[in-house]
């Protein structure tokens, strides 16, 4: 007589459920234990008086920390890590060269009360600042290099709108700007009144902001009649 099949073979779904229940039970039991340690990245927000100072290098956007605690607490912390950044204020930017990991550990500890912050992993926590300054530069057109088709000539004042541009950025970058920017008229063989918007010619810099990047240049052109 044939032997009856084991229960696990008769009902594979029941076997799968038992295995899943065992895994869940083991996982919950493991997460309830203390003494776990992990490393997680946490969002960081550096605050300072940005009306007076400007960072000359990219500020760190996150910080890595070694954390210890209960398994459930560490799991919950890792799942909610992008909710609220840790705030790190800098009161004297010009004399600050790096983010103090001790201070950052204290601030992170205040925010993460359910786990222990062991230490900060200092990867790239260097900072650099300069005074935020503005500089106003005069704009002018190189009238001697306007290429007008003979016998036409420039017959009016050359209008530049705006006639000045204000730059804002780090003090060291502003020092490289000349006091006057000369605009060249790109057109060749001009023989009619000119009215165009032209790009402002200056060396672009990622930390330099201009009040405008274009100017309007206009002037009248007339035919010069020769007298016999």
> What pLDDT does 4 receive?
54
Are residues 105 and 25 part of one domain? Answer: yes
Residue that terminates a domain, selected from 73, 106, 127:
127
pTM: 0.72
Residue that terminates a domain, selected from 95, 127, 159:
127
Are residues 121 and 181 part of one domain? Answer: no
> What pLDDT does 26 receive?
45
Are residues 122 and 157 part of one domain? Answer: no
> What pLDDT does 111 receive?
83
> What pLDDT does 67 receive?
84
Are residues 112 and 23 part of one domain? Answer: yes
Domain that includes residue 181, residue range: 133-223
Residue that terminates a domain, selected from 60, 94, 127:
127
> What pLDDT does 9 receive?
52
Q: Is residue 102 part of a domain?
A: yes
189-192 contacts, C-beta under 8 A, 24 or more apart: 189/147, 189/148, 189/149, 190/146, 190/147, 190/148, 190/149, 190/152, 190/221, 191/148, 191/149, 191/152, 191/221, 192/221
> What pLDDT does 32 receive?
52
| Mean pLDDT (10-residue bins), the chain, 228 residues | 52 61 48 68 92 94 85 66 80 94 90 83 87 97 92 94 96 94 93 94 92 96 76
> What pLDDT does 31 receive?
45
The domain total for the chain is 2
């Amino acid at each position: 007589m044939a032997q009856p099949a084991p229960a696990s073979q008769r009902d594979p779904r029941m076997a799968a459920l038992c295995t899943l229940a065992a895994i869940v039970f083991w996982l919950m039991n493991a997460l309830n234990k203390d003494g776990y340690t992990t490393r997680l990245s946490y969002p960081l927000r550096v605050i300072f008086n940005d009306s007076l100072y400007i960072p000359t290098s990219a500020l760190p956007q996150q910080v890595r920390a070694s954390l210890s605690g209960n398994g459930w607490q560490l799991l919950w912390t890792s799942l909610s890590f992008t909710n609220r950044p840790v705030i790190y204020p800098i009161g004297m930017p010009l004399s600050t060269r790096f983010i103090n990991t001790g201070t950052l550990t204290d601030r992170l500890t205040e925010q993460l009360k359910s786990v222990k912050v062991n230490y900060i992993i200092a990867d790239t926590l260097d900072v650099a600042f300069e005074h935020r300054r503005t500089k106003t530069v005069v704009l002018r057109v190189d009238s001697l290099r306007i290429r007008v088709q003979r016998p036409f000539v420039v017959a009016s004042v050359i209008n530049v709108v705006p006639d000045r541009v204000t730059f804002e950025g780090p003090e060291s970058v502003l020092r490289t700007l000349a006091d006057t920017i000369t605009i060249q008229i790109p057109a060749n063989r001009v023989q009619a009144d000119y009215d165009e918007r032209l790009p402002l010619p200056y060396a672009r810099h990622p930390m330099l902001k201009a009040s405008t990047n274009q100017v309007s240049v206009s002037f009248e052109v007339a035919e010069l009649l020769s007298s016999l």
